[in-house]
Amino acid sequence: MSVLDEILAGAAEDLRERMDQTSLDDLKAQAARQHEALDPMPAFRGDGVSVIAEVKRASPSKGELAAIKDPAALAADYAAGGAAAISVLTEQRRFGGTLEDLRTVRANVDVPVLRKDFITTSYQLWEARAAGADMALLIVAALEQLALESLIERARSIGLTPLVEVHDEDEVDRAVDAGADLIGVNARNLKTLEIDRGTFERLSPRIPDGVVKVAESGVRGPHDVIEYAKFGAHVVLVGETLVRGDDPRASVADLVAAGAHPALQHRW
């Protein structure tokens, strides 16, 4: 069993417990009380490289990364540093996250918020919207094609922007066939947890023009933002580097400044 399979099994067990506690109708009622979802795509399609900054306590590969006592304050620092969106890990077993983290972040920032989790059902999309998310991660490797297509459609229908994550050529083709217009290339292999920064360079040309390309994992600093941009990245998603740093606001600002380099403008 791969690491991804283990995570999915745990996530499914936790999901069953939440479904026993909260009905789908209740989630829909909560979602209806939320403000209209924010659209990240205008910023992502703008000049330069946008930054999605992540609230991330732990990871399967590194264990505990940071004791984040106040995710709202961290997210506020990210936003003040210029992050175009905030990603919040909500998977609890391997990443130490919760939906409460997402709710508190949503209440304290004015930029789009991504629910990053192992989503395999429409119930989880409604959970995301009910907690105030504007975006939801869909991992191609975790989904059959019909399920992927259905979840992309459902996400959009309830106001969520789906970020569709891929790891290899076949998954890129599947994401494109499913109609994804925001594709994240994860440099981390979810089966081995190893990072290969060449993954984005290899897969980027396979993603059609007009689709927003997100480089996920492997961003250690401004130089990696510029390097990913050379191969077509419009957005970078950064977690570990930021939560382990001493000054998250300044760290995000440095990444944003790198993404605003004159050479990276007007790439659409």
DSSP conformation class of 195: B
Out of 3.20.20.70, 3.30.70.1400, 3.30.70.270, 3.30.70.600, which CATH number does the structure's domain 3-35+48-264 have? 3.20.20.70
Quick check: 229 pLDDT over 90?
A: yes
* pLDDT tier at 139, thresholds 50, 70, 90: very high
* pLDDT tier at 197, thresholds 50, 70, 90: confident
Quick check: 10 pLDDT over 80?
A: yes
Quick check: 65 pLDDT over 60?
A: no
Quick check: 57 pLDDT over 90?
A: no
How large is the average pLDDT for residues 76-95?
94
Q: Can you tell me the distance from the alpha carbon of 91 to that of 78, in angstroms, rounded to the nearest whole number?
A: 21
What residue spans define the domains of the chain? Answer: 3-35+48-264
The answer, as to whether pTM is greater than 0.85, is: yes
Percent of the chain with pLDDT over 90: 77
Residue-level pLDDT at 110: 97
Greater model confidence, 68 or 39: 39
Three-class SS state of 13: helix
How large is the average pLDDT for residues 9-22?
95
Q: Can you tell me the distance from the alpha carbon of 198 to that of 217, in angstroms, rounded to the nearest whole number?
A: 11
Q: How far is CA 177 from CA 49, 116, 212, in A?
A: 25, 22, 15
Quick check: 223 pLDDT over 90?
A: yes
Residue-level pLDDT at 34: 96
Q: How far is CA 161 from CA 21, 134, 230, 231, 235, in A?
A: 26, 6, 25, 24, 15
Residue 132 is which amino acid?
G
Quick check: 26 pLDDT over 80?
A: yes
Known catalytic residues are 54, 56, 116, 165, 186, 216-217
- Alpha helices by DSSP H, listed for the chain, are 3-21, 24-32, 41-44, 71-80, 99-106, 122-130, 145-157, 169-177, 198-203, 222-230, 240-243, 248-259
How large is the average pLDDT for residues 36-43?
97
Helix, strand, coil percent values for the chain (each to nearest 5):
45, 15, 40
How large is the average pLDDT for residues 93-116?
94
Residue-level pLDDT at 242: 84
